[in-house]
């Protein structure tokens, strides 16, 4: 996999509604496309390195999980669909937190892999921003590995008037598997829930 440092996905309100299940991830400095995200209504969530969407690096396949959770197995497409782990979105917990994402990421053996921690969380800020578009960014997260070391950070703006953007910043020292799993998590946030 080519080296990735940071990614930005931007979508105005028109694109959010007309192309909700795809997004180009660009390098914020050069503005050149880095990765391409695509999800199907009933198909996999995939991360590609080319705009023809033929060279997949990560494929996430939906599976039955616990009640109240949306769950995907995450596969390394560059290594013969090797299972990297499983990520689950806690739908009810996220709703109760007024949009602060609640996800769990585990290894194939069920042991902890990554955690998504909310930074600078404020329910009032998120609600007010959805109505007024005042705050920037609205959502801030840090992705930690099982040892508690930061792997990546995610910052997102979600507002009715200004569309949405999401930034992914990879920390130095992240392993290839941590990078790919964090990218899968970012893809889920960007495509499925427009963070």
Its pTM surpasses 0.75: yes
Mind listing the pLDDT tens digit for each residue in 23-78? 889 998 898 999 999 887 777 889 999 888 888 999 999 998 888 888 999 999 99
Range of the domain at 123: 6-192
Distance (Å) of CA 165 to CA 72, 82, 116, 194: 23, 30, 18, 8
Is 99 within a domain?
yes
Is 1 within a domain?
no
Number of domains present in the structure of the chain:
1
């Amino acid at each position: 996999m080519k080296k990735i440092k940071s990614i930005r996905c931007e979508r105005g309100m028109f694109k959010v509604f007309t192309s909700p299940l795809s997004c180009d991830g660009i390098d914020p400095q050069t503005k050149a496309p880095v990765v391409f995200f695509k999800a199907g209504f009933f198909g996999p969530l995939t991360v590609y390195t080319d705009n023809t969407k033929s060279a997949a690096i990560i494929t996430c396949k939906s599976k039955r999980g616990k009640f109240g959770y949306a769950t995907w197995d995450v596969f390394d497409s560059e290594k013969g669909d090797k299972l990297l782990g499983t990520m689950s979105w806690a739908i009810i917990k996220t709703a109760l937190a007024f949009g602060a994402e609640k996800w769990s990421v585990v290894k194939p053996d069920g042991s902890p892999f990554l955690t998504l921690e909310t930074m600078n969380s404020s329910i009032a800020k998120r609600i007010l921003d959805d109505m007024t578009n005042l705050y920037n960014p609205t959502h801030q997260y840090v992705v930690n590995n099982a040892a508690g070391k930061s792997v990546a950070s995610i910052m997102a703006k979600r507002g009715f008037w200004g569309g949405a953007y999401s930034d992914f910043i990879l920390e130095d020292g992240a392993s290839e598997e941590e990078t790919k799993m964090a990218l899968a998590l970012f893809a889920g946030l960007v495509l499925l829930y427009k963070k």
